[in-house]
Amino acid sequence: MTKIKDIELGEFPLLLAPMEDVSDPPFRAVCKAGGADLMYTEFVSSEGLIRDAFKSRQKLDIFEYERPIGIQLFGSDIETMAECARITSAVSPDLIDINYGCPVKQVACRGAGAALLQDIPKMVKMTEAVVKATHLPVTVKTRLGWDDSTRNVEEVAERLQDIGIEALTIHGRTRVQMYKGDADWNLIGKIKDNPRIRIPIFGNGDIDSPEKALEYKNRYGVDGIMIGRASIGYPWIFNEIKHFLKTGEKLEAPTIADRVDVCRKHVEFSVRWKGERLGIVEMRRHYASYFKGIDGAKAFRNRLVQVPTLSEVEEILQEIAATYDAVPA
Ligand SMILES: Cc1cc2nc3c(=O)[nH]c(=O)nc-3n(C[C@H](O)[C@H](O)[C@H](O)COP(=O)(O)O)c2cc1C
């Protein structure tokens, strides 16, 4: 049984990665139904939250059925992060996660996210301040290091565990790599082999099939796997991996009718959540993935990303279902 403090996550939990502009409540709803064992929000800017910016505040909205759920914070100022941990605790997520992995310039070049990998003493102080500011378990998500010459995640794991984090997720790339090249899980496996480490270690990076999940589970001995991009438009990935790990057999792929059904739920929630205009526009990034690899679906996708209303989207989805009528994807 993998546990983060008192949160029981099952034998080998599959985590939905925090993804800015993706892992909002509508997306999390389909991933929960798809079998995610622990979900994270998009990252929340501590500076934004302190200013009470609408976007940051809205990211604190969580639902009972989403539990267990973690809210992820990022920032460069220690006291601001601690204050945000207090604000975040008041909405009662199951845990608070700190982002020390974000590589994008607007974050890392302002001293937040992966930038803290270049200043371990500050990272330790920030983490300690957050741990002290909340009664909730604190977890951390980070990368292997800043660049190839400073792969310091082993030191990070020990020092952050020592000041009280309850789990660590490691994306097997450096900041400089951004999303390029293959994720390298060797250091993640080494941390799992370190007898000093007793908190759960979750591996992250490039898991996109049940076979790969099994291979990496066995090879690197992690306590669970976090999945990001492979879940976009394919929330079935969680249950497919779970089933494969349990039985060695592959689940049937979702039919096109299944894809239409889940995509419809997603877009309807999106519109309820954000209003029709924004809900429809923000949904557009998901269609290509929902209908990937389906012969002749491109024309439908092109139409889906152009129409401005929910009723038009629903009509096209109905057409897709009728056209393919339960053909396996
Ligand atoms: C669109 C997008 C947004 C992301 N936003 C965040 C974020 O808000 N916080 C974070 O820790 N990581 C973020 N990430 C990184 C993912 O959580 C994950 O570490 C990365 O995608 C590697 O996992 P994967 O290969 O399973 O996608 C984001 C990734 C993507 C593709």
Average pLDDT, the chain: 96
- pLDDT score recorded for residue 300: 95
- The letter for the amino acid at 248 is G
Residue nearest to ligand 1 atom 28, measured at CA:
19
Region 141-165: mean pLDDT is 97
Region 86-101: mean pLDDT is 98
Q: Residue 135: pLDDT above 70?
A: yes
Taking the complete model, does pTM exceed 0.85, yes or no?
yes
- pLDDT score recorded for residue 327: 53
Q: Residue 328: pLDDT above 70?
A: no
Residue 129, ligand 1, Cβ within 6 A:
no
- Percent of the chain residues past pLDDT 70, beyond the cut: 99
Residue 102, ligand 1, Cβ within 6 A:
yes
Would the annotation count 3 as a binding residue?
no
Ordered structural domains, the chain, with CATH: 3-247 (3.20.20.70), 256-324 (1.10.1200.80)
Residue nearest to ligand 1 atom 21, measured at CA:
228
Pocket test for ligand 1, best of 15, 19, 143, 212 (most atoms within 8 A of CB): 19
- pLDDT score recorded for residue 326: 52
Residue 254 — very low, low, confident or very high, per pLDDT cuts 50/70/90? very high
Question: In the numeric block, which tokens belong to residue 322?
Answer: 């009728």
Residue 280 — very low, low, confident or very high, per pLDDT cuts 50/70/90? very high
Would the annotation count 171 as a binding residue?
yes
- Percent of the chain residues past pLDDT 90, beyond the cut: 95
Mind listing the pLDDT tens digit for each residue in 11-56? 999 999 999 999 999 999 999 999 999 999 999 999 999 999 999 9
Distance 291 CA to ligand 1 centre (A): 21
Residue 310, ligand 1, Cβ within 6 A:
no
Kindly compute the dihedral angle of the four CA atoms of residues 272, 276, 278, 282, in this order, to the nearest 10 degrees: 70
- pLDDT score recorded for residue 325: 78
Residue 126 — very low, low, confident or very high, per pLDDT cuts 50/70/90? very high
Distance 205 CA to ligand 1 centre (A): 9
- pLDDT score recorded for residue 166: 98
